[in-house]
Amino acid sequence: MVSILIRQNPYVVEEPQYRYIGERMANEIAKAVGIKNTRQLQYLALDVRDVFYYPFVQLKPKENLIPQLQPIWDIVASAQRYKENMAPDNATVANRELSESAAVVFLTSVLLKLKQENEEVYNKVVEALENPDIEKKQREQEAKEAQQKKEGQKTRQQQGSGQCQTGIPQQIQQIDKAINDAAARSINKVREFVETEKEIERVINMIKTAGKQAGVHGRSRLDQRELEQLALNAKVRELLKYLSETKILSIVASKLNKYEQQTPELTGITKGSKLENVLPSELVYPEEELYRRWVEGQLLLYEKSKQEKKMIYALLDISGSMAGTKELWSKALALSLLIKAQKFGYQYCYRFFEFETSEKVCIPPSDVEKEFITIASKGVGGGTDITKAILKALDDLKGVKGVMKTIYLITDGEDQIDVKQIADKLAETKSFLISIMVEGDNPSLREVSIKYFSVELTPQGILDIVKV
């Protein structure tokens, strides 16, 4: 197949790693557009990917290509022409994953626009991508031109009789214009995608590091396809815009950094086998005696106070009345509580609820990406049953021992709850309830809550809750 770019090593695109990347990208494009995943499509995807990845690339002269390949040249050239508009501040340069994603979004958008608006040009592009003989024809032309030069004849360009210069100049101009227009109208989509994907990684990194490594952004553990789907999800974009405008997560992370986790205090001396707590004086014994004292649990140890383990359990109302700013603020609070859990090593679990309650999810400290997807993309709708949601959470907490368990209920529901049943269950499970009323009031919830907030939808409102 034929690459449009001039490469120092023209055979690099046939190396296994390049082939794998090209096949994966082309597969996504082919599925979205409804065409075959061909080697020429893979070459095109790699060419556009490299346009985004490298600061500068050089295209082969268009007049050196056979007419069938010239629409492919136009697509690659348009990617180069609008690169700065699609990826401001060289956002994709030297970023392999983002370059691949941007190339997939760009090519999918251009091909779909051509398919919907200019069937004639679209068919010419598809014909070039699916023609198995196109490489052979290009090689034959290159060989013919090389022979002409060798024999001292004028080149095709000098003669003015090249295939791209005669017979169909108007048609060539129409193809150029159609592809350029499709590319120009894809700029905003690609730019929005690039900016969204970068913001997703920034937010995930902030949650994972709990704000302790400001300015350092590692690659998330989401795969490329998951990031692409997230970046194109309207719910996710809406939440990211809200987080960016309010700077809530940055503020929470910054404030939490002022509070350090309490370290265990030395309370005395005891006997046991924990070598990490052994008194230095024990190390003077001969090896055999030291080993005996360790086996029998007779080593003198520093006795340390035990740190109390804690759990944050978020109940997030997604009923229809939460739509709009309430939903965004509540998700921001749920993510802020996750930052708190990450920083201090707390367990973090959550359920969504409306009239029904979703399955419980507990997030391991090292793996927050998947749940960010769930929280960010979750929609709202339905009625509200607060009592059922709280009882479900308390059932989850029945068998949890040796942990301080706090349920954070985030809702705008004003329905009367079963105060006695919930109070009894809270006592039975030794759990605490913190209720956050989002622009409302619920006196029955106030009765059973250790803390009760009736909040305004501001960053300060979230800070007041997170600091508890």
Q: DSSP states of 159-200 as a string? A: HT--TTTSS-HHHHHHHHHHHHHHHHTTHHHHHHHHHHHHHH
Position 267 scores a pLDDT of 62
Place of tokens 């699609």: 86
Cα distances (Å, whole numbers) of residue 58 to 8, 50, 105: 10, 10, 22
Angle (CA) 345-389-458 rounded to 5° is: 60
Three-state DSSP at 36 gives coil
Position 171 scores a pLDDT of 77
CB-based contact 128:175 (threshold 8 Å): no
Number of helices (H) and strands (E), helices first, in the chain?
20, 8
Position 214 scores a pLDDT of 42
Place of tokens 């024999």: 151
- State which H helix or E strand residue 448 sits in: helix 443-448
Place of tokens 């290009």: 138
Q: In degrees rounded to 5, what are phi and psi of residue 304?
A: -115, 145
Cα distances (Å, whole numbers) of residue 64 to 43, 68, 156, 280: 18, 12, 9, 80
In single-letter form, the type of residue at position 216 comes to: V
Place of tokens 């700029």: 187
CB-based contact 99:92 (threshold 8 Å): yes
Position 249 scores a pLDDT of 87
User: Phi-psi region for residue 313, left (φ > 0), alpha (ψ -120 to 50) or beta?
Assistant: beta
Three-state DSSP at 143 gives helix
β-sheet bridge partners, residue 405: 311, 431
From the CB of residue 188, how many other CB atoms can be counted at a distance below 10 Å? 12
First to last CA, the chain: 63
**Is the overall model pTM greater than 0.95, yes or no?**
no
Token readout for 428 is 């039975």
Position 329 scores a pLDDT of 95
Q: What is the pLDDT of residues 409-431, one digit of tens each?
A: 999 988 888 999 999 999 999 99
Position 263 scores a pLDDT of 53
What residues in the chain have per-residue pLDDT under 70? 152-168, 210-232, 258-268, 304-308, 365-367
Position 215 scores a pLDDT of 42
Position 163 scores a pLDDT of 45
d(CA 358, CA 379): 13
Domains and CATH numbers, the chain: 12-185 (no CATH), 266-304 (no CATH), 309-466 (3.40.50.410)
Position 136 scores a pLDDT of 86
d(CA 97, CA 198): 11
Quickly list H helices, 34-130: 39-53, 70-81, 83-86, 96-117, 119-130
Token readout for 77 is 């050239």
Quickly list H helices, 306-405: 325-344, 369-377, 386-397
27 CA to centre of own chain: 21
Q: What is the pLDDT of residues 425-465, one digit of tens each?
A: 999 999 999 999 998 889 999 999 999 999 889 988 999 99
